[in-house]
Amino acid sequence: MAEPTIIHSVVRALRLLNEVAESAVPVTAKQLASRTGTPLPTVYHLLRTLVHEDYLTRTAQGYLIGDHVDRLRGATVGGLRTDRAHEILSSLHADLGAAAYLSVLVDGEIQLRDIVDSPGAPRADLWVGFHDAAHATALGKAVLSALPDDARRDYLETHSLEDLTPRTLTDRRALLRQLGTQARFRLDREEYSLGTVCIAAPVPSEQTVAAVAVSVPAHRGAEVLARAVRLTRAATLIALSSDEGAITI
């Protein structure tokens, strides 16, 4: 039997896609070159093509999986319809004038799956991945608060609580008490990044553990918190978006 013809440029492109898909935060071209052993000029060439075809999305922090990949896999992550979730995040972004985010618990790790922002409402500087920062982010806290007590405790015991800013809570017992209380929202008051406040709400789903959040400069925190009912509405719509019926925003 003849050996199959291998198109090496396709193999390299697929390796880049795989690296981006496995990362919980945006990945830079230099990181991709290092991880895949591909020359940086070749990485840039392949990334331009993947972005053009919507397999990847380019952000200021690096590359994320694009909408076309979601369409190929049925537009679902952890049971959520990511195509509809993106529309809901876009509406939330426009409504609050804030960067909007979606995170999902996948295989025991919290992953950032979508961001909607704009020049007037840019995303937070994602300088630390969720593996090391869930305890300091509103998104991470919202996901953890939706877990059963044992699962929440196991997660915190297997992840280091890095001291990211002077306001980061790193005491496991105190954090467990905080996450065990009933609350509509979870807050990050400059715990992840000084100058940035984040507000998150868990997605009310029995099939998926996920959360929706917005981030704003610290001086806008009280203003957005006063309108945070829009956040819980978006989280509810995202939960409903796993159904086949149309969602009206």
The pLDDT of residue 77 is 53
Q: DSSP class of residue 133?
A: T
pLDDT the model gives residue 78: 52
Q: How many Å apart are CA 211 and CA 235, to the nearest integer?
A: 7
| Best CA proximity match to 162, nearest among 126, 191, 119 | 191
pLDDT at 167 exceeding the cut of 90: yes
Closest CA to 203 of 133, 145, 124, 148: 145
Pairing of strands 99-106, 109-116: antiparallel
Nearest to 47 by CA among 114, 116, 55, 8: 55
Alpha-carbon gap, residue 224 to 22, rounded angstroms:
32
Instruction: Check whether 242 has a pLDDT greater than 70.
Output: no
Q: How far apart are the first and last CA of the chain?
A: 56
Reduced to 3 states (helix: H, G, I; strand: E, B; else coil), residue 103 is strand
% pLDDT > 70, the chain? 90
pLDDT band at 16 (very low <50, low <70, confident <90, very high): very high
β-bridge mates for residue 39, sequence order: none
What is the rounded average pLDDT of the residues 127-141?
89
Give CA–CA dist 28/96, Å, rounded: 29
Binning pLDDT at 50, 70 and 90, where does residue 182 land? Answer: confident
pTM comes to 0.71
Please name the residues in contact with 202: beta carbons below 8 A apart, sequence gap of 6 or more.
Answer: 142, 143, 145, 146, 186, 209, 210, 211, 235
More confident residue, 128 or 209: 209
The whole-number average pLDDT for the span 56-73 is 76
